[in-house]
């Protein structure tokens, strides 16, 4: 079959890890019961709090044989196994190597779990959100997060899935590389600020889907997290023509949609812009 049901999650994470994981589990379960075979969680799903907290809750990923999972990852692996779904952990705080280069920082990692809980792929966020916005929001992600350096495409139930995180969406060259590696869908889990999201969220995501002729799976944070930190929400799924086919409303929730590989092929054949590139 060419059609695969997928879901993106919208939640309001806070500094309370236990409460965040309980909320995430309920939403993943809702998506799985509705038929989703792959579920994308937003950036910072397990912890979204002041700088410094990421390092406290960061875990090493069990990439080596015999390596054990930390409590957050183990909980997520249990969901995958129990529900029989693949999970994209949109922003997982991964412990970075203890080197002078990383200076005690962590990675903001997008982790793709198989339905048996094993780690299939890991992407580490390349573009870090260092901004001073007009509404007074000042964020310097690089204070606590080290940048990654590799683009990553993973094998999903429907085919190739390109991995990215939030601020990456402003850099189309990243998605060109993902498509060149075979991606037909792009994961963009995010915690987009309210100030930027109201003007840019939909436009950027639809532009990435149109120019990449790929599905976009954009999980999102929404509402107030701590202090004045607010996220825009509107988790969505866009098809390779740029149409939004599923979207969350206000508050936590799940948006469900279908990936049709034949539609991707048809659009790319009828309007072969990816083949017409000259630069």
Contact 86, 80 (CB under 8 A): yes
Contact 27, 252 (CB under 8 A): yes
Nearest-angstrom CA–CA distance, 202 and 236: 9
73's tokens = 């990852």
Nearest-angstrom CA–CA distance, 130 and 153: 26
Other Cβ atoms within 10 Å of 31 Cβ, number: 27
Which one of the listed residues 76, 110, 166, 248 is annotated catalytic?
A: 166
Contact 226, 15 (CB under 8 A): yes
Q: Is 94 a catalytic residue?
A: no
User: Sign of the CA dihedral 259, 46, 251, 30?
Assistant: positive
Strand, coil or helix: what is 130?
A: strand
Q: Is 243 a catalytic residue?
A: no
Rounded to 5 degrees, what angle do the CA atoms 10, 246, 172 make?
A: 80
Q: Is 76 a catalytic residue?
A: no
Widest pairwise Cα distance in the chain: 51
Nearest-angstrom CA–CA distance, 89 and 38: 11
Contact 203, 170 (CB under 8 A): no
Which one of the listed residues 43, 59, 94, 141 is annotated catalytic?
A: 43
Which one of the listed residues 76, 86, 125, 248 is annotated catalytic?
A: 125
Report the catalytic residues. Answer: 43, 125, 166
């Amino acid at each position: 079959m060419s059609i695969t049901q997928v879901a993106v999650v919208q939640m309001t994470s806070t500094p309370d890890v236990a409460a965040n994981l309980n909320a995430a589990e309920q939403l993943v379960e809702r998506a799985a019961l509705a038929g989703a075979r792959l579920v994308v969680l937003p950036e910072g799903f397990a912890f979204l709090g002041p700088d410094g907290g990421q390092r406290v809750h960061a875990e090493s990923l069990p990439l080596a044989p015999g390596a054990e999972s930390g409590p957050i990852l183990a909980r997520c692996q249990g969901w995958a196994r129990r529900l029989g779904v693949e999970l994209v952990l949109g922003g997982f705080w991964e412990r970075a190597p203890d080197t002078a280069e990383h200076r005690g920082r962590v990675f903001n990692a997008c982790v793709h779990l198989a339905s048996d809980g094993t780690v299939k792929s890991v992407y580490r966020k390349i573009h870090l959100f260092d901004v001073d916005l007009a509404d007074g929001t000042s964020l310097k992600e690089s204070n606590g997060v080290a940048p990654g350096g590799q683009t990553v495409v993973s094998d999903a139930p429907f085919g190739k899935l390109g991995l990215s995180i939030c601020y990456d969406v402003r850099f189309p060259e990243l998605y060109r590389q993902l498509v060149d590696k075979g991606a037909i869908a792009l994961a963009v889990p995010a915690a987009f600020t309210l100030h930027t999201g109201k003007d840019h969220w939909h436009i950027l995501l639809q532009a990435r889907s149109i120019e990449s002729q790929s599905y976009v799976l954009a999980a999102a944070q929404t509402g107030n997290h701590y202090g004045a930190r607010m996220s825009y929400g509107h988790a969505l799924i866009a098809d390779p023509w740029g149409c939004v086919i599923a979207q969350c409303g206000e508050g936590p929730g799940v948006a469900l949609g279908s990936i049709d590989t034949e539609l991707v092929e048809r659009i790319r054949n009828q309007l072969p812009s990816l083949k017409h590139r000259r630069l």
